[in-house]
Amino acid sequence: MGAPVNPGRVTSVDVARHVGVSQSTVSRTFSNDSTVAPETRRKVLQAAIELGYTPNAIARSLSMQQTLIVGIMVAHSSSPFQPYAMEKLIQGLQRIGRQALVFTPGPDQEFDDVLPIVLQYQVDALIVTAATLSSERLSDFERKGTPVILFNRYTPGEATSAVCCDNIEGGRMVANLLLDAGHKRLAYIAGNQDSSTNRDRMKGFTDRLWERGAIKPLVEQAGYTYEEGYAAARRLLARDDPPDAIFCAGDIIALGALDQARDAGVKVPQELSVIGFDDIPMASWSAYSLTTVREPIDEMIDLTMQLLVERLENPDTEPVIKLLPGTLVRRRTARLPGS
């Protein structure tokens, strides 16, 4: 290091000379390009601090004819899984040199109402999480050359790429575990009815019960909230024929069901098994130790970023739906086979 810096505004050229690297290396460093060696990255960032260099993201995006911004459509939700997944998505975008712009509908709006606003910001791509959007609106983006990727959901027959946990297989794993443990009276607490995650988890669970000759499970409707999970479990446990196992569409529902069982004096798992889906951080807390199906969130993020880059570099790439297997995590809220 040590090349003199011209007075006035410091540029990336000045930083490159100071470090002894190319200007493109400086640009790739500030784009979070993983091809830059860690030691080189450290030197570039240190030189930028010493010289007072701040990259101009707007100028860089104009030169690339891209905004370097990816829109993320999210729904209102009290489930801890959504902010957990959102944090992972934003980190994934930063790793590929992009920034996130988050959109969510207002109290009296539908998701379709927000999409014209998203188009105004000319985002390079759109990631949709836990939302119901019309095919016509999604097609608006594709026609304008803006890739759309559905995350943790998919729409069968839609010409849109999607990355999702294999929720059907996850539901089947839960059914097998409960039947192998000797459970006879099973129940399912559903999440939002219009979500593909809820439909697939219920389908996998009920189909596998039918295949193995078990009786049809009781079904209680809830949303992805603790309060609705608690209320749904209360209705189930107040029946004359209460279930001896409850599979919940999401962990936050299962935590509510667990607390209701405890408040009702039902012993878990001796008298009642409770299983969730997602494996949010709270599921592993010792107060709950929830048996659940873990979504492969890191792999889902990596694959989403891969598809995003492919679509941006080659807009003619055919859309694909990628389903990644979940993992059954056995903790203390479900009776195990042979126990």
> 54-75 burial by CB neighbour count: b if 16+ within 10 A, else e?
ebeeeebbeeeeebbbbbbbbb
Give the tokens for residue 45.
Answer: 């960032």
Tokens at 184, concatenated: 């006879």
Q: Which amino acid is at 339?
A: S
Q: Give residue-wise pLDDT tens across range 206-262.
A: 999 999 999 999 999 998 899 999 999 999 999 999 999 999 999 999 999 999 999
Say which CATH class 66-166+296-326 falls into.
Answer: alpha beta
Max Cα distance, the chain (Å): 84
Is the peptide bond prior to 7 cis by the omega test (within 30 degrees of 0)? no
Q: What is the tens place of the pLDDT at every residue in 37-96?
A: 888 888 888 888 888 777 655 455 444 455 688 989 887 666 788 888 889 999 999 888
Report pTM. Answer: 0.79
Q: CATH 3.40.50.2300 in the chain, residues?
A: 66-166+296-326, 167-295
pLDDT at position 62, please? 46
Q: Where in the chain is the domain with CATH 1.10.260.40?
A: 1-53
Summarised one tens digit per residue, pLDDT across range 170-220 is: 999 999 999 999 999 999 999 887 788 899 999 999 999 999 999 999 999
CA proximity to 328, closest of 201, 189, 162: 201
Class for the domain spanning 167-295: alpha beta
Mean pLDDT (the chain) is 86
Q: Which of 41, 42, 39 is nearest to 27 (CA)?
A: 41
Superfamily, domain 1-53: lambda repressor-like DNA-binding domains (1.10.260.40)
Q: Which residues pair with 275 in a beta bridge?
A: 247, 291
Contact 226, 256 (CB under 8 A): yes
